[in-house]
Amino acid sequence: MNKPLILVVEDDAPIRNLITTTLKTQDYKYIAAATASEALQQATIHAPDVMLLDLGLPDLDGIEVIRRIRSWSAMPIIVISARSEDSDKIEALDSGADDYIAKPFGVMEMIARVKSQLRRYMQLGATAE
């Protein structure tokens, strides 16, 4: 079976490196983006299996990224954000995010949530066929 491909969208380089290093040690493939426009481009080109998305991006809000992805893809989107108000979580989930991790976060919790989304997504794909 192919290794799942994860798209990591985070403008903060140390956090981005933490996430990608963790994914690598857990045997995932990844691509990284530091801006919303890069993220949308990478998502279109590579069709990743899961997207990990920061909301506070320099060029466009992460919520808008979720909306744009959802107009053409059902890929699982897990938000990782420092915004911890309930209203922020609700807005992200209402816009089409599948899960929400508040910063600061534990990397093993992040991996567990990625696994959970992959499991569900693969099952959905299997039933659809």
Which parts of this chain interact with Ca ion (CB under 5 A)? 11, 54, 56
Q: Among residues 11 and 88, whose Cβ is nearest to Ca ion? A: 11
Q: Among residues 4 and 57, whose Cβ is nearest to Ca ion? A: 57
Shortest separation between residue 52's beta carbon and Ca ion, angstroms: 12
Of 9, 4, 12, the residue nearest 43 (C-alpha)? 9
Strands (E) in 69-113, as ranges, are 77-81, 99-102
Shortest separation between residue 45's beta carbon and Ca ion, angstroms: 22
Give CA separation, 30 vs 6, 26, 27, 51, 79, in Å: 5, 11, 10, 10, 16
Cβ-closest position to Ca ion:
56
Q: Among residues 4 and 52, whose Cβ is nearest to Ca ion? A: 52
Shortest separation between residue 58's beta carbon and Ca ion, angstroms: 8
- Neighbouring-strand partners of residue 9: 33, 53
Q: Among residues 56 and 125, whose Cβ is nearest to Ca ion? A: 56
Name residues whose C-beta falls within 8 Å of residue 81's C-beta, 6 or more positions apart in sequence: 54, 55, 56, 62, 88, 92, 100, 101, 102, 103
Shortest separation between residue 47's beta carbon and Ca ion, angstroms: 24
